[in-house]
Amino acid sequence: MAKYERDESYVELDHVEVDGVDISGHWNRMYQPREITAFTPEKIEELAALSGAESIAYCYQCAKCVGVCPVDAAGGDYGPRKIYRRLQTGLNIFDSPDLWKCTTCQNCVRVCPKGVDMVQIMPAARERSVLDGKVPPELQEMFEHVAEYGNPMGESPRKRERWIKQAGVEVPILAKTKAPVDILWFVGDFYAYHKRGQDAAGAMARVFSRLGIDFGILGKDERSDGDSQRLAGEPGLFESVAEHNIQEFQKYEFNRIVVSGPHALNAIKTQYPKLGGQFEVEHYTQLLAPKLDALGPLLTKSFDRKVTFHDPCYLGRHHGEYDAPRKLLTAVPGLQLTEMFRCKEQGYCCGGGGGGMWLDGFMADQVSERLSEKRVREAVEVGAEVLAVCCPYEVSRFEDAVKSTGNDGALEVLDIIEILDGCME
């Protein structure tokens, strides 16, 4: 197969002036029309043959996707159009770093007129590489932790309940209370194990308690929601943790599940039904926003700071929820909400989706700056003092990025639930 090469033959005039504007030399350079004939369909056909990856073949190279791809914007030279073209010129995607760069943020899917769906294509391609043992080591380690311990940190399941001691309120564990509840709160790995997540988990328990919400948790019987493992190419691992969680859910009586994070929302809403687990599920901001009549009077302390909000890809673009977090933030007395240029439907990505949470080392060689660093700069540019988030991946990602961009002390990263809790007596 011949590799495509640009035809460098051109015509240019030494001296040209048009309407008083000098366009001499290379300014009037005219190339011969290009005929792109040197390509092969084989690599595209090979990828499109995988179940879920069919739509890669629909691309007609319009390039709408590249301008919205957060990886490309961070210097990652990426986007479905580029992948398609590289496949045409012989790229073996299964051996390429390009396989792991996509965060499944869905921004290209939003704008693609041909329905090229990277959120399906990349997990299908990754599955094949995972089966062949071609996985970045940090991702492989995460898979092993989830398989062995049920969480990506490799922590003991028993430690899942440790955060409760610092919450200062009663947190009912369903296996102990055995009583029906209105809300089964799916706490999630980062709220349960990560130091800053535990701060948010405590805040959530206190807010639920003050609002008189009737809730319970699975505690040590909870496992990872599995969505990041599925999107990173391990659907078998996803199924094993998802089936475990479904069995646990089915042991108890409750009206709906409330999740701390958008990735659990996506898993339980869109994937668990395929495994026989049908549950009503919502994100915590969606539970609390309609309760502002009760919540508002509890917010007695003023939060006199300029705040900007980062839309999580899996709450916003994937599930269309842009209002609930903003309703909560604008209900906080004194809080001044300012939007970043990229927000809502075109919100930027923190880099943590689709397995990206465990690929920071790998990605460092692929981009000119981390996606989280770019986002922190955008928050600082609009004069924000606080970057508000509502995805458990984001607090740690953005706090690291605040440090690495030299914004320590200038920008604080807080979960919305921490802001609400801090404004209550």
Binding region for ligand SF4 (CB under 6 A): 59-65, 68-71, 78-81, 84, 102-108, 111-112, 114, 116, 118-119
CB 278 within 8 A of CB 250: no
Nearest to 190 by CA among 218, 238, 224, 229: 224
Residue 217 Ramachandran class (φ > 0 left, ψ -120 to 50 alpha, else beta): beta
Alpha carbon distance 376, 41 (integer Å)? 41
**Which residue, 116 or 203, has its beta carbon nearer to ligand SF4?**
116
How many other C-beta atoms are found inside a 10 Å radius of the C-beta of residue 95? 11
**Which residue, 118 or 174, has its beta carbon nearer to ligand SF4?**
118
CB of 362 to ligand SF4, least distance (A): 14
Nearest to 355 by CA among 242, 265, 234: 234
**Which residue, 116 or 329, has its beta carbon nearer to ligand SF4?**
116
**Which residue, 102 or 389, has its beta carbon nearer to ligand SF4?**
102
**Which residue, 196 or 310, has its beta carbon nearer to ligand SF4?**
310
Nearest to 161 by CA among 206, 222, 208, 210: 222
**Which residue, 123 or 216, has its beta carbon nearer to ligand SF4?**
123
CB of 312 to ligand SF4, least distance (A): 13
DSSP code for 96: S
**Which residue, 115 or 406, has its beta carbon nearer to ligand SF4?**
115
CB of 94 to ligand SF4, least distance (A): 17
DSSP code for 173: B
Alpha carbon distance 216, 186 (integer Å)? 9
Residue 3 Ramachandran class (φ > 0 left, ψ -120 to 50 alpha, else beta): beta
**Which residue, 107 or 229, has its beta carbon nearer to ligand SF4?**
107
**Which residue, 48 or 246, has its beta carbon nearer to ligand SF4?**
48
CB of 118 to ligand SF4, least distance (A): 4
Backbone φ and ψ for 10, nearest 5 degrees, come out as -150, 165
CB 351 within 8 A of CB 370: yes
Backbone φ and ψ for 223, nearest 5 degrees, come out as -125, 170
CB of 342 to ligand SF4, least distance (A): 12
CB of 224 to ligand SF4, least distance (A): 22
Radius of gyration of the chain (CA): 24
CB of 106 to ligand SF4, least distance (A): 5
CB 418 within 8 A of CB 327: no
CB of 77 to ligand SF4, least distance (A): 11
Nearest to 311 by CA among 320, 303, 302, 299: 320
Q: Which residues share a beta bridge with 299? A: 424
Burial of residue 226, with CB atoms counted within 10 A of its CB: 0-12 exposed, 13-18 middle, 19 or more buried: buried
CB 269 within 8 A of CB 195: no
Q: How many residues in total does the chain contain?
A: 425
CB of 310 to ligand SF4, least distance (A): 15
**Which residue, 71 or 402, has its beta carbon nearer to ligand SF4?**
71
Which residue has tokens 């320590």? 408
CB of 229 to ligand SF4, least distance (A): 17
Say if strands 254-259 and 181-186 run parallel, antiparallel, or are unpaired: parallel
